[in-house]
């Protein structure tokens, strides 16, 4: 059974495995006050959930609240977090190979898991999203092959 946007119902089988990341469209406000132009606001950036998640992970890395899955990962160090990243990367690769819309949705779900665990690793190491964005900006417009060759020299 497909789950439609903003419609209650059972989740696909692969979604029942874990409940790490699940941003529902209803959690993101896209309301714009049309009657009062002064109160109009732009919709939230699609990256805002990542920014909020990273802030939460950074806080958990600093405070290590008991009972938190993130704390458990952080306490396991780079080896435990890295193991989860490898596992989630494999699951994403498998999901991408699945046919149809259900396979596509499964890939989106697994990408969320992979991104979550990658952000946990960044928080563990004290690396911010701004630092990663700066690195990507530095590489922008540079051929991947040229960039790799420059690192070898």
Residue 33 in any domain: the answer is no
Residue 22 lies in a domain: no
At residue 42, the 3 state secondary structure works out as: coil
Answer whether residue 17 is part of any domain.
no
Reading the block at residue 128, the tokens are 């911010």
Alpha-carbon distance 43 to 100, whole Å? 30
Q: What is the pTM of this model?
A: 0.69
The residue with greater pLDDT, 26 or 143, is 143
Q: What is the pLDDT of residue 14?
A: 47
Q: Is residue 31 part of a domain?
A: no
Residue 111 in tokens: 């990408």
Give the pLDDT of residue 145: 86
CATH number at residue 120: 1.10.287.1080
Q: Note whether residue 149 is domain-resident.
A: no
Residue 8 pLDDT class (50, 70, 90 cuts)? very low
Average pLDDT estimate for 4-9: 39
Query: For the chain, how many structural domains are there in total?
Result: 1
- The model's pLDDT over 95-141, given as tens digits with 9 standing for 90+, comes to 999 999 999 999 999 999 999 999 999 999 999 999 999 999 999 99
Residue 109 · residue 95 · CB < 8 Å: yes
Residue 132 lies inside a defined structural domain of this protein: yes
C-alpha pair distances (Å), 53 with each of 17, 24, 58, 111: 20, 14, 9, 15
Q: CB atoms < 10 A from the CB of 116, how many?
A: 21
Tokens of 67: 């009972």
Kindly indicate the confidence band of residue 144, based on its pLDDT and cuts at 50, 70 and 90: confident
Give pLDDT tens digits for 27-69. 333 333 344 455 457 778 989 999 999 999 999 999 999 999 9
Residue 107 covered by a domain: yes
Cα separation, 52 vs 48, in Å, equals 6
Q: Taking residues 83-97, what's their average pLDDT?
A: 99
User: Burial of 144 by CB count in 10 Å (0-12 exposed, 13-18 middle, 19+ buried)?
Assistant: exposed
Does residue 153 surpass a pLDDT of 50? yes
Given this model, what pLDDT does residue 40 score? 58
Render 128-145 in DSSP notation, one character per residue: -HHHHHHHHHHHTTS-HH
As a whole number, mean pLDDT of residues 134-149 equals 88
The answer on pLDDT for 16 being more than 60 is no
Report which of residues 148 and 15 the model is more confident about. Answer: 148
Q: Is residue 49 part of a domain?
A: yes
Q: What's the domain range around 101?
A: 43-138
> Of 41, 81, 38, 40, whose CA–CA distance to 57 is shortest?
81
């Amino acid at each position: 059974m497909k789950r439609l946007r903003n419609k209650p119902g059972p989740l696909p089988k692969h979604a029942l495995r874990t409940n790490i990341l699940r941003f529902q469209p209803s959690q993101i406000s896209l309301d714009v006050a049309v009657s009062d132009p002064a109160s109009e606001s732009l919709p939230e950036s699609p990256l805002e959930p990542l920014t909020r998640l990273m802030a939460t992970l950074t806080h958990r890395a600093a405070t290590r609240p008991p009972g938190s899955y993130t704390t458990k990962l952080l306490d396991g160090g780079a080896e435990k977090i890295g193991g989860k990243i490898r596992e989630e990367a494999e699951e994403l690769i498998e999901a991408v190979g699945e046919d149809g819309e259900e396979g596509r949705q499964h890939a989106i779900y697994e990408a969320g898991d992979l991104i979550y665990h990658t952000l946990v690793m960044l928080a563990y190491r004290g690396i911010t999203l701004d630092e990663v964005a700066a690195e990507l900006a530095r590489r922008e417009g540079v051929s991947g092959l040229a960039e790799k060759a420059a690192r070898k020299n």
